[in-house]
Amino acid sequence: MTPSLLSLLRKVDTPTVCDAIEFAQGKRGFDGFTRGTMLCSAPTEPPVVGFARTAKIAAVHPPTEAPEVIRQRRMAYYEYMAAAPSPAVAVIEDLDFPDCIGAYWGEINTTVHKGFGLSGALTNGVMRDLGDLPAGFPVIAGSVGPSHGFVHVREIDTPVSIFGLTVRPGDLVHADRHGAVVVLAEVIDRLEDALRRLMQTERIVLDAARQPGFDFEAFQQAWAAFEKSRV
């Protein structure tokens, strides 16, 4: 991850990254993205970009383990998040999905994670305290709710599943109001060039369509040039 790639990823939306991955691969069929509609706490803020720090939680039922075990795991979780190399994103699977009730992401937890230096959170679970969450720490979640239930950490640093997307510790994640993608390790070194070329290619049609007098003939010409340049 070069500084210039990180800067660019923070300026483009997740659909653009999804298309750029295919551009870098030279083929269609990339499927490392979430399915369904997710919610974003800060849809007008820049996207969440970072390497995944993962965990699993549950909240519907009280934990069955000893309180000391739960407390130790909770502290181990926060130590794990605090030690994340930048840029990092918290990716948390709620094991109660699709019947999640416990909002792990509220004002306190988001503020703590932002203080640790993480760029945001991705979860299939619940968020709350909308309007009180800190700026610069978007949460992309499965739902909004008022309660924390019996929320507790079950696993740390393990593969997780978020809306059909498998995320492993260390995966590069890009997420915004559209959902999330995992950037394949094999394309990271080609991604910046792919993003720039993709955006340049899209300008062929966009610039033409915005010109006065744009008509079907102009569209045909622009589209032909566009098709020659895209995957």
Closest CA to 151 of 82, 100, 214, 77: 100
Tokens, residue 92: 């948390």
The DSSP secondary structure of 154-187, one letter per residue, reads: EEESS-EEETTEEE-TT-EEEEETTEEEEE-GGG
Q: Cβ distance 156 to 80 under 8 Å?
A: yes
Q: Is 210 annotated as a binding residue?
A: no
Query: Residue 106 is which amino acid?
Result: G
> Which SS3 state, helix, strand or coil, does residue 61 take?
coil
Q: Is 128 annotated as a binding residue?
A: yes
Distance CA 220, CA 146 (A): 52
Which residues contact residue 214 at a Cβ distance below 8 angstroms, ignoring those fewer than 6 apart? 208
Q: Which residues are annotated as a binding site?
A: 128-129
Q: Which residues are annotated as a binding site for substrate?
A: 128
Q: Which residues are annotated as a binding site for Mg(2+)?
A: 129
